[in-house]
């Protein structure tokens, strides 16, 4: 049976379950009848490989997927095509808003019907919902329509860019890869005739940005660099659609006065020069400023200018911030000077983001607040020092990012002589690299971490490395070595998997733990469903016990 949108929703829901849920609970959360849940569960089971156990609801326990089932279900999700994928309301609104903001043609109801594959009434309802959401935001944006112009946004240009950036950030940094693929396909079809979205310009952005930054001693993190390439055509094209007078332009130029002397401005200016030479695309001063603003707002792995006298005041503030953490909370940091450099590199971008209203969602905030609760609270209590010095307000996501940098430099007094050799590979920025290193160092006491690298660094020396395992946050890493993929902030599942895999690497008896439980349960002559339920309960009990014991010995985790 072919999976449809409702099957997809159930599949996505089951994958994310962290504890068993009954059919009744699932039906309420998905707003579907129990009969429909059973129907779509049957369709999912029919789509699973024969080697994978069927997903069953255990009486009074419910459903929770095994690791094997999760893996197979994720493969099913990858195969969901836009032929039978139905866009959700918020996805249609995002797609419609991007279309209205960037289209070089008049956007009508018929245009949006074709774009989102829904009826006229549904499009009208989506537009009303979009207006309602805009009225609740701080952007001061109005969605209007005229017969001659079609649908368009009326607002200040900087608000326009802030809104667009937030939408694109939600899309491209979201977890729904199917929607991202559909979004790219539809926007390329809709906007593909414009030069900005041509393959040649996309390749130019992808190749030019890393080289130009390196020449000035800077380097965006890999995720932010990729995001920059993805959103730049949208930003430039949407600016071309704006209509504003001389007074607004003068205000924009004043807003960008912070940018003109920064290195990123020279990168943006050279980018404009190269675009004109290669593609006859002309960027005016405001467009150059927009590109520089984005470059300044993104996180960087490398910045050779953090020692510049331009940042002496920031340096003093950060040393004061660290001193308060040490005195008030008795924290000790291994390399204080290096920590301050990291924080300058991070906070430079943070201040520009705050000044220009560029959103920065931290997907790891929840994990940081749970795993590093004490350190997060320490950072939160001292955050007012930074807020007062820089005249800004730090959100939870901002404090969580700073906590990452602090956690990577917390002093660890243990002396290690590990036999298992490891390399950590992450493209999520230096702060995450250091924090992941610290987590692994505390957990894997019988291991030696030889290096912490980006994918690019690893590929350049791959043939020279001799390691037992690679621990990586990149699920698409191509390597001949044994790899363990983890989240940037280790989850309980990651912790147990790491400890279990690394610490048992040298054992002769490598019989799978789950298989051992099967051997114990098999002689009890229970039906398959009962065996599955008992096995799950045993695994969960031991799992929780192992996680608890790890947290007792490593309270900072």
State pLDDT tens for residues 222-235: 888 889 999 999 99
Task: Please say whether the beta carbons of 354 and 397 come within 8 A.
Answer: no
Pair type for strands 420-425 and 300-303: unpaired
297 and 349 Cβ atoms separated by less than 8 Å: yes
CA dist., res. 297 & res. 526, Å (int): 59
The gap from C-alpha 498 to its chain's centroid, in whole angstroms, comes to 22
Residue with tokens 């609801």: 57
Q: Which residues pair with 469 in a beta bridge?
A: 422
3 state SS for 465-525: CCCCEEEECCCCCCCCCCEEECCCCCCHHHHHHHHHHHHCCCCCCCCCHHHHHHHHHHHHC
pLDDT tens digit sequence for 324-370: 999 888 888 888 999 999 999 999 999 999 988 888 888 888 888 88
Which CATH architecture group holds 309-408? Orthogonal Bundle (1.10)
Q: Which residues on adjacent β-strands are paired with residue 425?
A: 453, 472
Return phi, psi of residue 80, to 5°: -70, 115
Tokens representing 529? 């469903």
Question: Residue 414 pLDDT > 50, yes or no?
Answer: no
Phi first, then psi: give them for residue 323, nearest 5 degrees: -60, -40
pTM passes above 0.75: no
pLDDT category of residue 413 using cuts at 50, 70 and 90:
very low
Give domain 5-78's CATH number out of 3.30.420.40, 1.10.630.10, 1.10.10.10, 1.10.260.40. 1.10.10.10
Tokens read off for 219:
């380097």
Q: What is the CA radius of gyration of the chain?
A: 26
Q: What is the pLDDT of residues 299-332, one digit of tens each?
A: 888 888 888 898 999 999 999 999 999 988 888 8
**What is the per-residue pLDDT across 9-25, written as a single tens digit (0 to 9) for each?**
888 899 988 888 999 99
List, for residues 161-170, the tens digit of each pLDDT value.
899 999 999 9
Q: Report which of residues 6 and 29 the model is more confident about.
A: 29
Which residue's entry shows tokens 């993929």? 485
Indicate the CATH number for domain 420-503: 3.40.50.2300
Return the residue matching tokens 């505390």: 442
What is the rounded (10 degree) CA torsion for 522, 527, 529, 535?
Answer: -20
Q: How many helices (H) and strands (E) does the chain have?
A: 24, 8
């Amino acid at each position: 049976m072919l999976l449809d949108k409702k099957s997809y929703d159930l599949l996505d829901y089951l994958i994310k379950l962290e504890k068993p849920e009954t059919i009744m609970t699932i039906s309420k959360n998905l707003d579907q009848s129990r009969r429909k849940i059973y129907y779509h569960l049957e369709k999912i089971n029919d789509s699973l490989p024969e080697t994978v156990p069927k997903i069953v609801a255990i009486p009074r326990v419910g459903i929770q997927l095994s690791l094997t089932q999760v893996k197979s279900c994720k493969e099913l999700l990858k195969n969901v095509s836009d032929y039978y994928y139905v866009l959700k309301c918020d996805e249609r609104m995002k797609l419609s808003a991007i279309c209205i903001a960037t289209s070089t043609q008049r956007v009508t109801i018929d245009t949006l019907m074709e774009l989102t594959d829904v009826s006229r009434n549904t499009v009208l309802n989506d537009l009303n919902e979009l207006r309602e959401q805009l009225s609740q935001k701080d952007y001061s944006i109005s969605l209007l329509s005229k017969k001659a112009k079609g649908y368009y946004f009326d607002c200040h240009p900087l608000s326009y860019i802030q809104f667009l950036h937030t939408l694109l950030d939600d899309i491209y940094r979201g977890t729904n890869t199917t929607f991202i693929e559909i979004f790219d396909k539809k926007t390329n079809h809709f906007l593909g005739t414009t030069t900005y979205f041509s393959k040649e310009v996309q390749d130019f952005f992808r190749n030019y940005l890393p080289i130009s930054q390196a020449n000035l001693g800077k380097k965006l993190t890999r995720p932010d660099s990729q995001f920059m390439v993805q959103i730049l055509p949208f930003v430039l094209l949407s600016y071309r659609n704006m209509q504003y007078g001389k007074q607004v332009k003068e205000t924009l130029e004043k807003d960008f006065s912070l940018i003109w002397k920064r290195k990123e401005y020279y990168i943006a200016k050279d980018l404009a020069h190269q675009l004109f030479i290669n593609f006859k695309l002309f960027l005016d001063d405001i467009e150059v400023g927009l590109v520089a603003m984005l470059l300044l707002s993104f996180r960087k792995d490398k910045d050779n200018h953090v020692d510049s006298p331009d940042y002496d005041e920031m340096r003093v503030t950060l040393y004061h911030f660290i001193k308060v953490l040490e005195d008030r909370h008795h924290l000790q940091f291994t390399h204080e000077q290096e920590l301050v450099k990291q924080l300058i590199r991070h906070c430079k971008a943070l201040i520009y983001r705050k000044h220009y209203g560029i959103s920065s969602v931290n997907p790891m905030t929840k994990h940081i607040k749970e795993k590093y609760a004490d350190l997060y609270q320490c950072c939160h209590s001292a955050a007012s020092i930074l807020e007062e010095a820089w005249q800004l307000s730090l959100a939870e996501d901002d404090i969580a990012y700073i906590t990452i940098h602090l956690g990577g430099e917390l002093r660890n007094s243990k002396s290690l002589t590990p036999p298992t050799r490891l390399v950590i590979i992450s493209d999520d920025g230096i702060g995450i690299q250091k924090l992941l290193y610290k987590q692994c160092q505390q957990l894997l006491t019988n291991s030696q971490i030889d290096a912490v690298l980006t994918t690019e660094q690893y590929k350049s020396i791959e043939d020279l490395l001799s390691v037992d395992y690679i621990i990586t946050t990149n699920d698409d890493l191509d390597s001949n070595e044994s790899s363990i993929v983890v989240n940037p902030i280790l989850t309980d599942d990651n912790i147990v998997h790491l400890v279990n895999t690394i610490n048992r690497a040298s054992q002769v008896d490598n019989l799978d733990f789950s298989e051992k439980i099967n051997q114990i349960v098999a002689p009890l002559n229970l039906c398959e469903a009962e065996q599955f339920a008992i096995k799950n309960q045993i695994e969960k009990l031991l799992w929780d016990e192992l996680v608890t014991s790890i947290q007792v010995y490593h309270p900072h985790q």
